[in-house]
């Protein structure tokens, strides 16, 4: 009896220990825990992704701002460089203008011409007629002899000249005549001073008017061998200089006996010379030819008589008083 009761207790479950229900609840709990774990992992992963996306977005915005700042700084730097270049160019132009004013004593004449060589014994150049007009309008001929500074303008492809002499090649010369073609400048033997090497295809020079002070000394260098063998260097140099000076400084003698230079002789014969060839009309004030021979009184009056025949102011001389003669 006791054994059967014990066996029944073992086989038959009691109400206090429901085995099947505990297993189902454990399964539900495990499934719930798995679902919560999955949801938790998904939430963590989503939060991580959102953080990564936000971080990438902030980084892109920061990079875009930095790129915009760099571009703005680059544009401002370009503008500053352009402004500085414009200021430097303006200052250079002003400096060149001031240099031209000081060098030419109020006369500004820079001209760029194509150099053309011609055979000549002197050192004077030929320039176009337009240069004569420009110089005449500024009164350059009233200041005496015209002197010009010739400078080489370096061009592309002339690296040999630049490497041969880093300094700008310059020389000075006067003008021979204003008969050269427009845009060209004729150079005699001073060509070798500007173009010591092979000249470029289209050599350009700047011709600038300058005022040169009177020289006090000169340095001479012989260009041929045998100069030291000459017996008297001083006499040779003086003779050569005198022959050169006769072309420009030959004195003239007026029939009245006065000996003057050419310009002074023109003023003398037009004003105080008793044998002057030009006299002033009393009626209109024009300078008229007084005849072909200044020493003959008849010829001196013939020109004035012809002018009086066509003068429209014959009522009274121009320097007569208001009441008439």
Identify the DSSP state of 141.
G
- Return the H-helix or E-strand segment holding 103: helix 19-104
- The CA distance from 308 to 317, in Å, is 11
110-210 under CATH 2.60.40.10, yes or no: no
From first to last of its 325 residues, what are the pLDDT tens digits of the chain? 555 555 555 555 554 445 445 556 666 666 666 777 777 777 788 888 888 888 888 999 999 999 999 999 999 888 888 888 888 888 887 777 777 676 667 788 888 888 888 877 667 888 988 888 888 888 888 887 888 888 888 765 544 444 444 456 788 888 888 888 888 888 887 777 777 666 666 688 888 888 888 778 878 777 777 777 777 878 888 877 776 554 445 677 777 778 887 667 767 766 676 655 555 665 565 555 555 454 454 555 555 566 555 555 444 444 444 444 3
C-alpha to C-alpha distance for 62 and 197, rounded to whole angstroms: 61
pTM of the complete model: 0.44
Length, in residues, of the chain: 325
Nearest to 277 by CA among 293, 258, 255, 253: 293
Q: Which residues contact 311 (CB under 8 A, 6 or more apart)?
A: 281, 283, 284
- Give the torsion through C-alpha atoms of 284, 286, 291, 293, to 10 deg: 130
In angstroms, the CA 168 to CA 186 distance is 20
């Amino acid at each position: 009896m006791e054994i059967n009761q014990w066996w029944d207790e073992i086989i038959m479950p009691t109400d206090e220990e429901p085995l099947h229900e505990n297993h189902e609840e454990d399964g539900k709990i495990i499934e719930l825990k798995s679902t919560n774990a999955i949801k938790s992992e998904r939430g963590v992963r989503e939060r991580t992704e959102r953080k990564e996306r936000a971080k990438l977005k902030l980084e892109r915005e920061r990079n875009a701002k930095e790129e915009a700042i760099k571009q703005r700084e680059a544009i401002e730097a370009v503008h500053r460089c352009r402004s500085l270049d414009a200021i430097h160019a303006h200052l250079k132009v002003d400096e060149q203008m001031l240099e031209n004013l000081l060098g030419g004593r109020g006369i500004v004449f820079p001209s760029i011409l194509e150099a053309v060589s011609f055979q000549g014994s002197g050192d004077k150049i030929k320039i176009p007629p337009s240069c004569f007009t420009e110089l005449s309008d500024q009164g350059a001929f009233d200041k005496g002899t015209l002197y010009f500074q010739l400078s080489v303008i370096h061009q592309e492809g002339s690296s040999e000249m630049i490497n041969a002499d880093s300094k700008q090649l310059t020389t000075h010369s006067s003008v021979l005549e204003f008969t050269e073609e427009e845009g060209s400048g004729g150079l005699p033997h001073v060509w070798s001073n500007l173009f010591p090497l092979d000249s470029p295809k289209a050599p350009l020079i700047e011709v600038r008017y300058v005022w040169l002070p009177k020289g006090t000394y000169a340095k001479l260098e012989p260009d041929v061998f045998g100069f030291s063998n000459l017996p008297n260097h001083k006499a040779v140099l003086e003779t050569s200089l005198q022959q050169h000076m006769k072309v420009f400084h030959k004195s003239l003698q007026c029939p009245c006996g006065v000996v003057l230079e050419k310009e002074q002789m023109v003023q003398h014969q037009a004003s105080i010379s008793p044998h002057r060839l030009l006299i002033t009309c009393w009626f209109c004030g024009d300078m008229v030819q007084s005849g072909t021979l200044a020493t003959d009184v008849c010829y001196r009056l013939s020109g004035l008589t012809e002018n009086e025949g066509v003068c429209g102011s014959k009522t009274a001389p121009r320097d007569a008083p208001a009441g008439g003669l």
